[in-house]
Structure 1
Amino acid sequence: MKFAVRSRSAPALPGVHGTARVHRRTAGALGRLREGDVAVLDHLDMDRATAQALVDAGVVAVVNAGPMISGRYPNLGPELLVGAGVTVVDDAGPEVFERLRDGVTVRIDGGEVHAGDTLVASARELTPVLVRAEMDRARAGLVAQLESFTHNSTEFLRREEDLLLHGRGVPRTATEMAGRAVVVTVRSHGWESELRGIRPFVREQRPVLIGVDRGADALVSAGHRPDVVVVTGGADDLPPAAVLRKARDVVVLVERGAPRAVTEPFERLGIRPLRFETTATTEDAALLLASASEASLVVGVGMHATLDEFLDRRRPGLASTFLTRLKLGPDLVDAAALPRLYDGAVRPRHLAAALAAGVLALTAAVSVTPVGQQWVDELSPTLTSNTSDLLDNVRGILP
Structure 2
Amino acid sequence: MAVSKRHSLQHSKVTKGIAQADRLTKRLLMHISPGSVAVIHHDDLDELAADGLIQAGVRAVINAGQTMSGKTPGYGPLLLLKSGIPIVEIEPIWFPMILNHKELMINNDEIVVGDELIIPCNVFTIEKWLHLNTSAQNFLHEQLREFIDNTLAYAQLEKEVVLRPLQCLEMSTVLAGRHVLIVVRGREYKEDLAALSGYIRRQHPVLIGVDGGADALLEQGYVPDIIIGDMDSVSDSALHCGAELIVHAYNNGEAPGMERLEAMGLHAVSLSSYGTSEDMALLLSYDHQCEQIVTVGLHSSMYDFLEKGRQGMGSTILVRMKVGDKLTDAKGIARLTEAQRDSN
1:239 pairs with 2:235: yes
Give the whole-Å Cα distance in 1 for the aligned partners of 2:65 and 2:290: 43
The residue aligned with 1:201 is 199
* Amino acid paired to 1:146: L
For residues 175-254 of structure 1, what are the structure 2 equivalents within 5 Å?
A: 175-232=173-230, 236-240=232-236, 242-254=237-249
Q: Say if 1:23 and 1:40, in contact at 8 Å, map to a contact too.
A: yes
Q: Say if 1:21 and 1:39, in contact at 8 Å, map to a contact too.
A: yes
Deviation string for 1:133-180 (max 9, x for gaps)?
Answer: 2101012223443343234323432443244224x2342432222232
Of 265, 268, 274, the match for 1:273? 268
The residue aligned with 1:336 is 332
Aligned residue pairs: how many? 326
Of 98, 101, 118, the match for 1:100? 98
Shift in Å, 1:278: 2.1
The residue aligned with 2:308 is 313
Between structure 1 and structure 2, the one with the greater Rg is 1
Shift in Å, 1:229: 0.4
Deviation string for 1:349-376 (max 9, x for gaps)?
Answer: xxxxxxxxxxxxxxxxxxxxxxxxxxxx
1:297 pairs with 2:295: no
Q: Say if 1:163 and 1:170, in contact at 8 Å, map to a contact too.
A: no
More helix by share: 1
Shift in Å, 1:20: 0.7
What TM-score results when the alignment is normalised by the length of structure 1?
A: 0.72
For residues 60-71 of structure 1, what are the structure 2 equivalents within 5 Å?
A: 60-71=59-70
What TM-score results when the alignment is normalised by the length of structure 2?
A: 0.82
Between 172-181 and 223-232, the greater mean CA deviation after superposition: 172-181
Shift in Å, 1:69: 0.9
Q: Say if 1:211 and 1:219, in contact at 8 Å, map to a contact too.
A: yes
Shift in Å, 1:132: 1.7
Aligned partner of residue 103 in structure 1, secondary structure: coil
Give the whole-Å Cα distance in 2 for the aligned partners of 1:49 and 1:292: 30
Give the whole-Å Cα distance in 2 for the aligned partners of 1:274 and 1:158: 29
Alpha-carbon spacing, 1:237–1:129, altered in 2? closer, same or farther (3 Å): same
Give the whole-Å Cα distance in 2 for the aligned partners of 1:246 and 1:230: 14
Give the whole-Å Cα distance in 2 for the aligned partners of 1:261 and 1:313: 19
Give the whole-Å Cα distance in 2 for the aligned partners of 1:32 and 1:318: 31
Of 121, 124, 136, the match for 1:123? 121
Q: Say if 1:76 and 1:312, in contact at 8 Å, map to a contact too.
A: no
Alpha-carbon spacing, 1:150–1:260, altered in 2? closer, same or farther (3 Å): closer
The residue aligned with 2:76 is 77
Aligned partner of residue 141 in structure 1, secondary structure: helix
Q: Say if 2:183 and 2:217, in contact at 8 Å, map to a contact too.
A: yes
* Amino acid paired to 1:337: I
Q: Say if 2:247 and 2:255, in contact at 8 Å, map to a contact too.
A: no
Between 40-49 and 295-304, the greater mean CA deviation after superposition: 295-304
**How many percent of aligned residue pairs carry the same amino acid?**
31
Shift in Å, 1:340: 5.2
Give the whole-Å Cα distance in 1 for the aligned partners of 2:269 and 2:100: 36
The residue aligned with 1:171 is 168
Deviation string for 1:278-316 (max 9, x for gaps)?
Answer: 242222322222222233322222236566445433324
Alpha-carbon spacing, 1:323–1:142, altered in 2? closer, same or farther (3 Å): farther
Aligned partner of residue 92 in structure 2, secondary structure: coil
Alpha-carbon spacing, 1:60–1:278, altered in 2? closer, same or farther (3 Å): same
Q: Say if 2:110 and 2:119, in contact at 8 Å, map to a contact too.
A: yes
Give the whole-Å Cα distance in 2 for the aligned partners of 1:183 and 1:286: 10
The residue aligned with 1:8 is none
Shift in Å, 1:41: 1.6
Give the whole-Å Cα distance in 1 for the aligned partners of 2:15 and 2:284: 45
Shift in Å, 1:97: 1.9
Q: Say if 1:182 and 1:210, in contact at 8 Å, map to a contact too.
A: yes
Q: Structure 2: 5+ residue runs without aligned partners?
A: 1-11, 338-344
Give the whole-Å Cα distance in 2 for the aligned partners of 1:321 and 1:47: 20
Q: Structure 1: 5+ residue runs without aligned partners?
A: 1-12, 342-399
